[in-house]
Chains A and B, each alone.
Chain A
Amino acid sequence: MAVLHLSQVVGGDLRDAGGERLGRVDDLIVRLEGEEYPPVSGAVASVAGRQVFVPAELIEAITPGRVDLRAERLDLQHFRRRPGEVLLKKDVLDRQMINVDGARLVRANEIELTRLEGWYRAVGVDVSVRGLLRRVVPRALAGRIAAADFLDWASIEPFTGHVPTVRLRVPHPKLARLHPAQLADLVEAASHREGEEIIAAVAENPELEADVFEELEDQHRREFVEERSDDEIAELLARMEADDAADLVLQLPEERREHVIALLSPPHARRVRTLLGFDPATAGGLMSPEFLCLYADATREEALERVARSRVHPDVVAWLYAMTLHRRLHGGVRLADVVRAPEGTRLNDLVASVQMVTPDTELEEVARLMTDFDLTVVPVVDEDQVLLGVVTVDDVLELVLPEGWRRRFNLFGGE
């Protein structure tokens, strides 16, 4: 199966069935929706000074340096883009795309085509320097640079936002394979428009979109919510964890914040408002107001039932808390210990006293407690020792890692 390099096809001759040269091949056309390896649906060629469309049905063969037609003649149809059509050279080659399997952005140094299931299809993208080199050196030398391994088309997702007739209409189903954190990294690394394209693609699944927003950095969150309406933002916030939602609200201009919060469901709005009242570098600002706290008299079964029914984040339910009848925090127990306890055990017999902090406890102090007592969750209580929320280790780690560690080269000083 011979592999064709796109850059050796474009710029080549367009020849009729008799081998007569008609003009120059400028580009190949594909449609990206549907098939795994997009088939070539036509070519663009310059014939007698005009850009004409060559439908795939008229093409006999594509070889390096030439495209042969089946017919003796070619109807000179002026080339005009039809919806969904993507030009391989103009729209894909040399541009950024997503390598879904590597979860990173790559640039297409060469596009590889081959005849597969009866027709020419785009089958891969060369991102190696060798692929680029082949296009820089003179044609005679280019043939001697062997094809390198290329990325299978099945693992890439090109951006199409810049293609006038496609704009946001091509879905990017492969992106669903990525973890929200990887998607967020891609959004941050891509240009603003490319980032919008990624977000628009994941927005098909609102839960996933919310997860991606949870992972984005503040500056990027701001960039991508700025242009949305209050309703759209509220919808997004409703699907996010309360602490991340509160962070996002903080990124909005002050005059919009109340409007957006007012659109949330009452419990959610209350949680976000509570969080907004706290300094972000203290336990109060870090905590999530979602947790599981039962009366100390509850049985093991009642507790597990609560865990099963609740929608609280798994990281948070790693610990269950018990309170007295006056709602004072009595102690805590790991979920695993509850599961392992014999049937009918009362929570009271399982819990041990726990380290707790108040909302104004500094971040460093919380981090120290977590380290000293091997905690993944620290409860936050008010002056009456009523549980307000919990701080989870992931929120703390994010802030206490030394600067420079896995830090982006933020050359331009963005936040």
Chain B
Amino acid sequence: MNRRLLALAAVLGPGLVAANAGNDAGGIATYASVGARYGYDLLWMIVLITVSLIVVQEMAARMGAVTGKGLAELIREQYGPRWSLFSTFSVLLANLGICISEFVGIGAALRLVHVPKYASIPIAAIVIWLLVVRGSYKVAQRVFVAMTIPFFAYPIAAVLAHPHWGAVGRAVVVPHIQLNGPYVVLFVATVGTTITPFMQLYLQSAVVERGLDETDLPAERAEVATASVFANLVAGFIIIATGATLFVHGDHTVNSAADAARALEPFAGRFAEALFAIGLLGASLLAAAILPVTAAYVIAETFGLEKGIARRPREAPVFVATLTVLICIGAVVALLPHIPVIKLLVLVQVVNGVLLPVTLFFVWRLARDPELMGEHRNGRVFDALAAATVLATSGLSLVLVGLTFAGKA
């Protein structure tokens, strides 16, 4: 019993971290845009995405426990260097985009409290670099996770905004599908921001790093499920809150962080902006710290470079260089003048959504491989769900690409 609790406490970290990092700058921008533009119309897919997220995260955690290896490592070992490079580049591209969006988020959050981004972003970049290269990561993670607590304000704000609960309930159950550019774009963005490759990479590596094994699987499953449900409940409430305020008042576009913060007004009044700023800052910092390291791990695993024994810059130059480059590009792009913040954030999530099937495909194929996973391979029902997720996300990406070429998105 004691041991079980211990195991649970051990995984509670990465699951929560992944869940909170999922509601990062890009996530909030996307959910707020969804709510403002379509009201509750897209709520039904949050339910589906939750199921998919649980399925995907569970596979990643299970593979980590059973094989003791990271995802990039497994792809390299099972499918050889070409596929491994392909998936690495798609992950890198997605991660670079998200990294930019986190710094944009940091800048936007601090601008709400009147700190210019030319001060906040460079400082944040330096702080994050120091943290990952030589600081105490554990403490930083806790602080960042704690800073996202203000996002609990969204459910309260949603209730205080007096949404039409009947309409909300109907929207959750009845799918509402439009086949036009903006709708599909937001749909893909929502999938892309909720099921993010870096979350699977992070979770699997975290499970490995903590030395969890098959006996810890039940605890891990419970953790993955609760964390996913929790993350998506917050997402759902952001949509409801913005749907009940911005959408109802006819503000159909969210252009800045200040716009998104206005959804919190029914609850927080004039503190809305400060609350929103703290939450946005915490989630963005958290993700901005995890992302570069995850990317550096992927590169090291793919190319078989040093990442294990001692990782001072001198001994693991590529590892440290990768994360330095990512942080620098992220910060520099975010510093460009006149960037349309929310638009950029949503765009990054779209790219993420399009690249997602690549990673998901490998996760699915590996998790069902009997030689690799033995008795822990996907069960029949579970496998069908996983396959459906891969197919659905791939289909969505194709539709989006098709619409883009047809000039409708």
Contact = CB atoms under 8 A, between A and B. Distances in A.
A193 interface: yes
B375 interface: no
Contacts of A220: 211
A40 interface: no
Interface residues of A, number: 41
Nearest to A196: B68
A409 B307 CA distance: 9
A91 to B, nearest CB: 10
A330 B73 CA distance: 60
B2 A135 contact: no
Contact of B304 (A103, A109, A407): A109
Nearest to A109: B304
Contacts of A107: 76, 303-304
Contacts of A146: none
A104 B205 contact: no
A413 interface: yes
B134 A404 contact: yes
Contact of B211 (A103, A253, A414): A414
Contacts of A108: 304
A411 B306 contact: no
A313 interface: no
Interface in A316-334: none
B311 A408 contact: yes
Given A127-B304, A192-B211, A94 B81 contact: yes
Interface string B129-146: 000101111100100000
Nearest to B294: A411
Contacts of A191: 67-69, 208
A373 interface: no
Contacts of B135: 404
B3 interface: yes
A254 B3 CA distance: 10
Interface in B268-325: 290, 293, 297, 303-304, 306, 308-312
Interface stretch (A60-68, A182-190, A265-273, A343-351): A182-190
Contacts of B73: 96
A105 interface: yes
B309 A109 contact: no
A95 B68 contact: no
Given A94-B77, A192-B68, A413-B137, A135 B309 contact: no
B68 A94 contact: no
Contact of A94 (B80, B141, B205): B80
A132 B303 CA distance: 8
A226 to B, nearest CB: 9
Nearest to A186: B309
A219 interface: yes
A412 B304 contact: no
A406 interface: yes
Nearest to B212: A192
B387 to A, nearest CB: 26
A194 B77 CA distance: 14
B47 interface: no
A109 B305 CA distance: 11
Contacts of B67: 191, 193
A414 B312 CA distance: 18
A410 interface: yes
A16 B309 CA distance: 48
Given A105-B309, A406-B312, A412-B210, 11 more contacts: A108-B304, A135-B81, A136-B81, A188-B309, A192-B68, A192-B208, A219-B211, A406-B310, A407-B134, A409-B132, A413-B138
Interface of A: 94-96, 103-109, 127, 129, 132, 135-136, 185-186, 188-194, 219-220, 222-223, 253-254, 403-404, 406-414
8 closest Cβ contacts across the A-B interface?
A107-B304, A189-B308, A191-B68, A413-B138, A412-B209, A192-B68, A404-B134, A223-B211
